[in-house]
Structure 1
């Protein structure tokens, strides 16, 4: 197939120009002896081998061969203050000298929980866990425990971690996602239980009519609607006000809880993404930035909902424990991070993000390039299509577009910046106008360098 051959050549062109990362290649050879595919996370990108990092400093990473990279990944958006943020380093060092974890509670967990309860609307009480996946999982379990219903509704293409019900239709494609007005529940992995698929109602983000029709029809079996206020994997697209209005009305009418997954999007503002867009959840799943770079997750919500975790009157409706939940190292790192994320810090990140998205959009217009930019706050995503996607299905791309997107990431890497292939890219507080200009200049250079191939993206099959 001509287009496939063209795409493969295009994707490989940059790779073959990359300098040999001898120490990274050596590390990867060792890793292949102990990991199934040489990596310990499915999200590790290879170009053609992973880049092994030695250290991070502020907005930059340094690999084993001494190459420096502007980090636009931030460990999947968790490092909002960049690397080796001194208040976090100092807090963790001090706590480590006093002990890393205990079976008993500590005062620092109260302090971090207080920060979250004071800032985030609809968060009256908090429970800590160790990952965003756990936070989503326990939020779903809490909704089931309170409502007595097992079914879950979620939006097509949205990523919510590694809990079976949250993974349904996470990687659906045009070949299996079903009709536009009734999306199919698509398994994420071979062997996913059929019962999970039957218990998960898949909806389309921002499709108000579909939400009204399908949620109304199945509300009697649905415990909660799981929603990322701006789904990262599904395009970084903002929710429409009328869509949220309908979601609120339907859920209140039928006794369905709303779970906001803000594991990633809490970084959108001082009070989080739900507050930014007017979403009023019953439960929130939080993570990433609230741990300051250490493992963390948290479930927060209205007091009457969070009582499912309470053991005041005996065994709780939902027992929740964890050996490392609320460990003091994550707590103090989170406190240091959140204390330094005041409203001025978020306003500055918003300003930088607005400037970057405007720069990229202007460059696209100047060169009449088939790209679009989405995002908000400190988040941005570059799409290899001229139209701004409306939902996950609208993001479907052809072979050449996929190759262009991957090569964009490779190009950035060759010129000293880590730009994720698929997920949201992000800014961090150590960045400034210099970094915004660097990103803009690299994107302009990329469009100039590969103009001949890029102009054919939307016509290739």
Structure 2
């Protein structure tokens, strides 16, 4: 099926077999998908296989993959060392009630590499990692409230979802953000137990953390929140969080489920944050389900069951399963400093190329990000926080057109997630991304001038 036929069928880039698969899926899933994060226009692209930095869909078409399963696949698809390690492990068994040495080896790697990680506990997802980190902070401090950044995503734990989808209609005053619910029926008590902070708001951090100091167990933050714009933290903001937390005996939880990929030692080390707990996931599993909580030895002791009942019980049938441990160990061993340096160069090449293309066309766009991550915004000025990055419906439509244009030209550029690069990508792949972006600017010059007003 060619592109014209796809367009005539109501979809600009989805093939016949994908449409047929979606029709089947609608008979067994509530909306035809098994994850709310699946992107469709109006149908999703169904994938048959992935090789290196490319996907092949069920219609046989090839796409450069900038989603990488939501930044997880830092080595791309079917990474040979992971495939080989998993093949060996499967022949020995997939899961056991007993521990295996592979979990020790992966924990040793993380403890030796990531500053402030003295001890580790493995779980199955990033959501679980954050959930247990919050519980650990509560158990350690004896306090119940947490503070979090407005618009930041930390998984599907009620307290962490507060103000995730805040809008101009409900997010409250600039100096005192309102805690907003994520879904209908969210208990009002949850909203009362979360203090919402604005990213890069130095004065607000000092004031709000000090005001609620006696009730706050932790401040939960992603050093570069993806969902709220992939915006760089100001050094003075990091310092303010650090100072206010230490002064008031509030723990700092650095959520690096996504952003651990920002460097050999992770994002906190990159930005000068010294957390008490770090949540990890995605890249540490080598493409298999995983999550981890790491941190100071005294804080992590809340999980200690050696003397009987722990302060905080944490289990899980598949936690530390040998498949995830083995795949993660193989992937992380190949993520040495050289690999991260190469990703840094590739990421800079893409962001610089996009900035140059924007400047040449005087397009009302900008780009944010770091390391192997980037985000394009329909704004003339780099946003400072979630509120500045928030898009009106017309601008949302423009960004969907960007995603559509990329797909039509052979690149999966996520709309609701962060584009990411992998070690399997080449300089030619990076140039391909920039070339397609430049093509979008030239093809949509009139639309850009009409919709994306300066801000």
TM-score computed with the length of structure 2 as normaliser: 0.97
Partner of 2:126: 132
Q: Which moved more, 1:122-131 or 1:239-248?
A: 239-248
Please tell me whether residue 441 in structure 1 is matched to residue 435 in structure 2.
Answer: yes
| Alpha-carbon distance between aligned partners in 1 of 2:22 and 2:216, rounded to the nearest angstrom | 45
What is the rounded CA distance, in whole Å, between the counterparts of 1:280 and 1:287 in structure 2? 19
Q: Is residue 2:290 matched to residue 1:280?
A: no
Partner of residue 356 from structure 2, selected from 349, 357, 362? 362
SS class of match (2:176): coil
Unaligned runs of 5+ in 2: 1-5
Residue 31 (str. 1) matches residue 25 (str. 2): yes
The alpha-carbon deviation at position 399 of structure 1 amounts to: 2.5
SS in 2 for 1:357: helix
The answer to whether 1:234 aligns with 2:239 is no
Aligned to 2:36: 42
Alignment of 1:277-426 (within 5 A): 277-426=271-420
| Unaligned stretches of 5+ residues in structure 1 | 1-11
CA contact (8 A) 2:49 2:55 kept: yes
Q: Are the equivalent residues in 1 in contact too, given 2:14–2:45 (CA < 8 A)?
A: no
TM-score between the two structures when normalised by the length of structure 1: 0.96
In the alignment, the residues of structure 2 paired with residue 20 and residue 300 of structure 1 have an alpha-carbon distance, to the nearest angstrom, of 41
Q: Secondary structure at the match of 2:451?
A: coil
User: Is the 8 Å Cα contact of residues 380 and 454 (structure 2) preserved in structure 1?
Assistant: no
1-structure distance, mates of 2:201, 2:50: 41
Residue 23 and residue 194 in structure 1: after superposition, are their counterparts in 2 closer, same or farther (change >3 A)? same
Q: Provide, for residues 263-317 of structure 1, a one-character-per-residue CA deviation record: whole Å limited to 9, x for no partner.
A: 0000000000000000000000000000000000000000000000001221110
Structure-2 separation of matches of 1:397 and 1:246: 28
Q: 1:219-251, CA deviations, whole angstroms, 9 ceiling, x for partnerless residues?
A: 111100000010001111111111111111111
Q: What's the CA shift for 1:110?
A: 0.1
Matched, 1:261 2:255: yes
After superposition, the CA RMSD in angstroms is 1.5
SS of the residue aligned with 1:275? helix
The CA deviation string for residues 6-33 of structure 1, in whole angstroms up to 9 with x for no partner, is xxxxxx9999572551111111111011
- When residues 19 and 230 of structure 1 are mapped into structure 2, their CA distance, relative to the original with a 3 A threshold, is closer
- The correspondence for 2:210, drawn from 216, 234, 241, is 216
Q: Contact between 2:119 and 2:297, CA under 8 Å: does it hold in 1?
A: yes
Distance 2:170 2:139 in 1: 32
1:92 equivalent to 2:86? Answer yes
Any idea what the Cα deviations from partners look like across 1:400-453, whole Å, max 9, x if unmatched? Answer: 211110010011011110001022100000111101110000000001001001
Paired position in structure 1 for 2:3: none
Counterpart selection for 2:425 from 411, 418, 431: 431
Structure 1 Cα separation of the partners of residues 190 and 439 of structure 2? 47
**Cα distance in 1, alignment partners of residues 104 and 396 from structure 2:** 46
Give the 3-state SS of the residue equivalent to 1:26 in structure 2: helix
Higher mean displacement: 304-313 or 397-406: 397-406
Aligned-partner Cα distance in 2 for 1:49–1:116: 39
Once the 2 structures are TM-superposed, how far is the Cα of residue 253 of structure 1 from its aligned partner?
Answer: 1.2
